[in-house]
Every structure is written in structure tokens, then in C-alpha cells.
Chain A
Amino acid sequence: MKLVIAMLMDGVIYASWLFIIAAGLTLIYGVMRILNMAHGSFYAIGAYAGASLVGVYLAGGYPPWGAYFMLLGAAIFSGALVGILIERGLLRIMYGRDEVVMILVTYAILLILEDVIKLVWGVDAYFTYQPYTLLGRTKLAGIAFANYDIALIFVSASICFLLWWGLNRTRNGKLLQAVIHDRDTAAFLGINVTRMFTVTFVIGAMLGALAGSLTAPGISVMPGIGVEVIILAFAVVVIGGLGSVGGALLGALIVGLSRSAAVHLYPDAELFVIYGVMALVLAFRPQGLFAIATARKI
């Protein structure tokens, strides 16, 4: 029983973290058809921005609860900045190219941003454990969980709700869905597709940065974290179906739970399980679990 609860909780916590990253990735793919490798860098930039801003804030002797707003602010600001710079400055001139070429374009951006991060923040690790420990721990069936992690589940759930609400219950969301289904027709009908692209990319970048800054208190922030994360996020969105937010949620849960099951039962299979599940899903549902239907080319 204890084991089951630990497994479930760990799985859900991990899944909620994965979902925040994967949501941005899948949103950008759905609208722009770009599988954005640089998303890993957005995550890393968010983590660095969050960790350094909280460090400066706490060193100033301000009330510690404000650190959470610092994390949020750092994510929104850094995500928006990097997102606008990259979309307007670079991706704009690359539109219309093959999907696979776009992967390489974003791969190049990933390489560039990895070094930009090193130039800005150096190569030493950053630690900001205060926001993590401040919330204390809760005992569930005799197992202690960090409240910060439990809060992460709620944050992730609210992001999921906001995305659903934004896409299905607002005017702009419905316009965006029109763009997702048929970009050309949407443009004919007078939707400003270019602006939709910019806004989507910035929101996606912010989500990536948010995942990073929320993770920062729990890990040591150092070079290379983005490269590890992006491949996980790929697994999640491919399992769920590229471009589907609901799919990202399902994918995150599947990956999160199967990983935590592996960690608790057979730790050696930790990485193997994630990509094993990905391969299994792809083998039976090539387009992922929640696929968007596409026309066949003749």
C-alpha cells in the first residue's frame, strides 16, 4: 500500500512537471508545425532566470514568500523575451520550409542558446532551495512529500485548465483552432496568422520557461539541463499525439506513472521504460493517442 501511494504520488508529481514543459511544445507544434528543439533551452533559461532572481531577492532580505512571485515573474519575463527575439528575429524568415528542416533550425537555436546561457550565467551550478523547503512537508500514509511538489500538481492542473479554457471558450482560442485545422483557409477568412504565430510561440516559450523556473528550487541548475529535458518532452508529446494539449496531459501521466513505477520496482529500467512506452505507443498508434487527422497526399 505504502509503495503504491509513493509510486502514484511520485508519478503524478513527475507528470505535472512534464505536462508544463510538454504543453508549450505541443502548442507550438499544433499551431506552427515546428517541433521546437529550442524548447529545452527555454526551460533552461527559465530555470537560470528563476534561480538567480530568487537568489538576488532573498539576499536583499525581503520576505521569503515573495520568492514565488519572483519565480513566476522570471519565467514570464525571460520566456517572453527569448520567445519574441527568436520568433521575430529568426523563425519568421524560415517559415514555409520542410518540417524536418525546421527541426534542424531549432536544433541550431538550441546549440546557440546553450552557449548564450553559459555566457550569461557562467558554468557553475545555481542552488535556490529556499522556496522548496519553505513550504515544509506533508505526511501521506507515513510517507513525507514536499509541499512544494504537491503545489506543483495544482499549478500544473491550473495551467491545463487555463489552456483548455483559452482554446475552447475564448474568441481568440477559437480563431487559433481555426489556424490549427487549416492555416490557409484561416488566413483567407481574415485571421492574422502571423500574429497568431508570434503569440503562440511566446506563450509556448513562457510555458517552457515556467517549467524551468518552477523546477529550479528542487534541482541544481547547471549547463545541459535543457538537453536532457527536451528529449523527455518529445516522448510525452509523441505519445499523446503531436499538437494536442489533451494528448500532452495523457502522455505526461503515462510517462510519469511508468517512470515512477520503474524507479520504485526496478530502478535500472528508469530511462528504458520511458522510451519503451514511446516506441510501444508509436507501434500501435503511429500518430499518437490523440492524433489530429491529416489528408493524404496524392
Chain B
Amino acid sequence: MANAAVIGSNAPSSFNGGSSRASPRTPAPQSNFAPWKDPARVPIVRFENVTKRFGNFVAVKSCTLDIFEREFFSLLGPSGCGKTTLLRMLAGFERPTEGRIIVEGQDITDLPPYERPVNMMFQSYALFPHMTVERNIGFGLRQEGMAKEAIAKRVAEAMEMLELGKFAARKPHQLSGGQQQRVALARAIAKKPRIVLLDEPLGALDKRLRQQAQFELMRIQETTGTTFIIVTHDQEEAMTVSSRIAVMNHGELAQVATPGDIYEAPQSRYVAQFIGDVNTFEGKVAGVEAGFVEIEGAGFGSRLRAVAPEGLTRGQQVWLALRPEKLRIALERPSDSINAIQGKVIDVGYLGSISHYHVELASGQTVTALRANSARTVERAISWEDNVWLEWPAETGVVLTR
């Protein structure tokens, strides 16, 4: 999450200003990396109104998306949202029903997979069971008719990068899941493709191995300077590794933004709820004044105040989204509060570093608040059945219109 916050704090001009810092070998720190903000930049991958139908089922609905060189781009969504179909269309395993796919200025919509400048790492790894690790990794290079010595050198490079040297002569079934995953990655990068596609690459690993592998993916992506496009349903994984995330829902792009923006400035309730925990208050616009909106609703007593997005009209239905860690919880109503709601604690989850409080409002809605346990002892700990006040400044809530 720390990473996400850094990306989220981007100034729009930082990429243009930072060009001198970026050398071709070592990519600029991610906080300076925002090619999508530069209108002059040509994307390395462009989906143009791509639609994919399987019979009556629409897997991808008129999707337009630009992905830039050296991005670590995530396609995130629940299963069946079309993220894998989008990736498979880029790999060439599925043909778009409508629209075009452009890679490096070339229309590749009709190219077969074996002629595309992309390599994929498969969810099942798809390692050739009858070949050794070495031959698996060299498979792509052999297809190009490369000289034997050159292949051996490139394979050795890839194996070194992923610490696979001592497994060179093994067959895939003699490897652990984590080792197989690294072989699959080594095979996908061995041809030095411009774009590497990763279909749920860490889905089969347990949680600890997964976190290690995420950082390994990021390291490989940075050292090779390749564009990575990853499909995942794990929002934490997407937040950790990505330069940008495309959140998908029912074949449509719900939002494409940096992890920080996705988290702090979701554009819809769907995105807000999909990434992290969120409390939403439904209400109507009571008035807009000086950039702030007053929201009134049945679920809470007083009006709530928040930064107003463009184009709100009085009486319009809106949702106020609040992250649990942005809520302050107190036994007394703070005197200077702008937004405050009263409720009763129905559940406390103590996790050591933080505590979760589930607070039931008068309307019956349950709100979650997080509190960091920064002091070892508190005068009066908040506990079950306590009547508490939830309070937050006007800037922390996000007003959503859909």
C-alpha cells in the first residue's frame, strides 16, 4: 500500500520534468513514471473498441485502452469479468469480434499468436512436461532458428536471473510450485519480448511465496525494462505491483488509474468496493457551495459535507464513500467536527497494530472504522456496546454518482 500512496501523489507534470533522470538501463523511480499523462506518447498496446462475444455472451464490451512501454499494467476484476479474454486477445488466442488491437503501431488483430511480439506466462504455467527446464526456457529461441551457442547463453542468462541454474537438467514434475512458476517466467522473458503477458501468474502459490514472487516480478520487470500486463483477481497483488490498474466489471473497464487513484479516488461504488474496504452512505444532494456538497439522507442524522465533484445537481442521488482508516472514532462528539455520526459498537477486532470497530448506526447500517493502536495503553478503551461518534473531515470522503 505504501507504494500505491507514492504513485497516487503524482504531480501531473512530473513525467515531462523527469525525463533527464530516466536512463534506458534503469527505469526512473515509479513516482516519476506516468507516460499516460503525456498526450504525445504513443502507447505500446492499444485496444480500439474491442468487443468479444462468445455466442450470446459478451465477454468484453467495446473496450478502449492504452498501455505504455515499461508499464506494469494490471487487469483486475472478479472471475468472468473479461480480463483473461482481453489478455488472450492480445496474445492471439482469441479474435476480437469487433475492434482492433495495435501493438507498436502495427495492427496485430489478424496475426496468429506465433507471429506476435508478445510472450505469455500461463496460469497453469504450461511447462512442456517432456522437456528439461533448460529446453523449456530455450523453446522460444529455438523457434527463431537461433544459433545453439546464442540460445545457451540466453537461457543461462534467464536461468541466472531467476536463480534456476541448479535445476537446468530437471523435468518440470521434479520442481516445486514456486520453481515451476519461475521457469514459466524465465520462458516468457527468454525471447526478450517487448510485452510479457501474465495470466494469474501467482494464483497457485501460497501467500508467503506469493509476496516474494510479486517482488521478484517487479524486479524482473524493472531490470528487463519490459512491459508487463498481468491478469489478477487479487486486489492486493494489483496494488503492489502495478503502475496502473484497469478494474473490469462485466466486460467493461470500470476505471483505469494508478493504484493510489483507484484507492483514493474511485469513480464508482463498484471500484470503491472492489479495492479495499469502504463504507458508503447513500443520500441526495442538498446543496453545492464553494466546492463542497451537502448530502442529506435517511441513514444519518445531520447533513454530510464532502468535496463536490463536477456537475452535481440538487436532489441528485449520490453515495459518499469513506475508507475505514479515514474515520476517527471517539466516545465524545468532537467539538470541531464537520461530519459526525453516532452509533453503537457491535464488534471489535483487535489485530495488534490496528483495531477494527464495527459500529451500528441508528438506521441499522454497519460502518467499519480502523484505528491504529499507537499507544500501548489507553485511558478508556472503546469496547462493545459503547456509544461512539464517527467523525471525518470533508476532504476524506469521495462522492460517487454511480
Asked if A and B bind, the verdict is no
Residues of A at the B interface (CB closer than 8 Å) are none
Residues of B at the A interface (CB closer than 8 Å) are none
